[in-house]
Structure 1
């Protein structure tokens, strides 16, 4: 009977798996090879539905173990299941051999690091009040309005919020560019994301050669010192290099 396989990612044929790495349902992870590549797989019981949080954690655990062991891997998105090992060999590896080899060569000796910067909001609001007289004056006037008259200045409060948001956006564009330019020299590629929250300054992934990791970290430390009074900066990683794997 063919046993369905869950696939975590693709590495090079003959790669040594980290000791004790387990996948979904704590099942052992194995390599299924074809040509120059091999898929990281574990058995998936027939009828086993995917999507629970432990499943996602197991997926990330396997890929994280590879990254932290320094083994190049092309991560697959969560939820990749195939009919059996023969299907993994034929439909995944053989059918995409050149593509996987190219991606493994591209990622070899490199790590994905994610740079996140978040405003210290009180500090940035003080900057805005000092630099924008219209905003400062409107804010002062609204603070002096008695509580029982709040409804009368409803639209003024909306206007104040819009002005502050606009001023924040202008600062974000400038600050994000400074942070990206400060960290980028040690990286081969950078992928910025749109800010998800009002306080976010920058959220970007960097593909950094291993031999330049110390240079990247030093650049981020310098940025942290230079902006410590207004931006909190941190680096997450190394991570599975999802951001530098082209979509099929």
Structure 2
């Protein structure tokens, strides 16, 4: 029998979720969901006795992700909420309380940073056949196709590949142009911009915007203007408002004592460590171990990569301890606020 643990959906202010949440949690969309509060910070949780998400099939993964998002969006209707990374599971409710004890201040700071902000996505599709037909009439594509037809048998495949690459570049250029038009129209309204991956040929762009709730009407009007200007070339959908999934997802991870010990040994840092000590030791060793200074050593690159990984682990540990609230005992969990990518500045989007 699988051990019962605690699933974390997200965090909120303690006073935001005073009314009971609907029973719509994992694994079946009907399980109870509740909150645990420590001071002014709260976590949205449920019981968990299933496998980790990395072991799920794709259909089951998507089904559970939908349930996870439904819980967060229900909570968001009551106030500011930050979603936890999908699949976040802690050992028990007591460990959730310990997390809030150490990280409650950081939770409040993060909630304040995103107070009143929501995510909306603009996703556009096109008629791919029509787009390809238009591209096929471009002079350079016509010329490349003619050259492929006239190529010798041994060169024909390479010529056909070149035509395909030319068409793909033209499609990508159109996507870039349309996304630039979107950003020129709505970018200045946003507090943050995060382009998402285009995972289907029919998809032109999928961009997340961090918006003030009061700016949503202006956002919708801007999308309508863009739609009119494009005269039906794209079908644009507005998705949301949503929690700020793309801009502020709470990551809770457990410190790996053995990995930290190995990192300390590699950097020569016994006992208590500090961020300055980690950086000083790393810089000294990096000069010694850099592959450029160890030409002919086949293991130099691997050693240098291990040094970089140790630096990252130890810095995360030091910074996490510095951020955590004063509490009895050192934190065993690390909290970070993640976003899905590097993003774009709203100013850059506004310039188009």
Tell me, yes or no, if structure 1 residue 64 matches structure 2 residue 65.
Answer: no
- Could you tell me whether the CA contact under 8 Å between 1:186 and 1:216 is conserved in 2? yes
Query: How far off its partner does 1:199 sit?
Result: 4.1
Q: Which 5+ residue runs of structure 1 have no aligned equivalent?
A: none
Query: How far off its partner does 1:38 sit?
Result: 0.4
Query: How far off its partner does 1:207 sit?
Result: 0.8
Match of 2:261 in 1: none
Query: How far off its partner does 1:189 sit?
Result: 0.9
Query: How far off its partner does 1:71 sit?
Result: 2.1
Query: How far off its partner does 1:105 sit?
Result: 1.2
Match of 1:135 in 2: 141
Match of 1:20 in 2: 22
Tell me, yes or no, if structure 1 residue 200 matches structure 2 residue 203.
Answer: yes
Match of 2:39 among 32, 35, 41: 35
Q: Distance in 2 between matches of 1:221 and 1:198?
A: 24
Q: Distance in 2 between matches of 1:190 and 1:160?
A: 34
Q: 1:24 to 1:126 in 2, by over 3 A?
A: closer
Tell me, yes or no, if structure 1 residue 177 matches structure 2 residue 180.
Answer: yes
Q: Which 5+ residue runs of structure 2 have no aligned equivalent?
A: 252-335, 337-352
Q: For residues 145-224 of structure 1, what are the structure 2 equivalents within 5 Å?
A: 153-224=156-227
Q: Distance in 1 between matches of 2:165 and 2:206?
A: 23
Query: How far off its partner does 1:151 sit?
Result: 8.3
Secondary structure in structure 1 of the residue aligned to 2:9: strand
Q: Distance in 2 between matches of 1:163 and 1:20?
A: 52
Query: How far off its partner does 1:124 sit?
Result: 2.6
- Could you tell me whether the CA contact under 8 Å between 1:124 and 1:230 is conserved in 2? no
Tell me, yes or no, if structure 1 residue 82 matches structure 2 residue 90.
Answer: yes
Q: Deviations over 1:133-186 (max 9, x none)?
A: 1212344676x88xxx99873333222111111222222222211112212222
Q: 1:61 to 1:50 in 2, by over 3 A?
A: farther
Q: Distance in 1 between matches of 2:246 and 2:140?
A: 42
Q: Deviations over 1:93-113 (max 9, x none)?
A: 122222211221122222111
- Could you tell me whether the CA contact under 8 Å between 2:117 and 2:244 is conserved in 1? no
Match of 1:103 in 2: 110
Q: Distance in 2 between matches of 1:80 and 1:134?
A: 51
- Could you tell me whether the CA contact under 8 Å between 2:16 and 2:78 is conserved in 1? no
Q: 1:134 to 1:22 in 2, by over 3 A?
A: closer
Kindly indicate whether structure 1 or structure 2 has the higher relative contact order, using CA contacts under 8 Å at least 6 residues apart: 1
Secondary structure in structure 2 of the residue aligned to 1:77: coil
Query: How far off its partner does 1:206 sit?
Result: 0.5
RMSD between superposed Cα atoms in Å? 2.7
Q: Distance in 2 between matches of 1:204 and 1:217?
A: 14
Q: Deviations over 1:52-98 (max 9, x none)?
A: 5254333222112123x2421111112212222221111x2122222
Match of 1:7 in 2: 8
- Could you tell me whether the CA contact under 8 Å between 1:113 and 1:235 is conserved in 2? yes
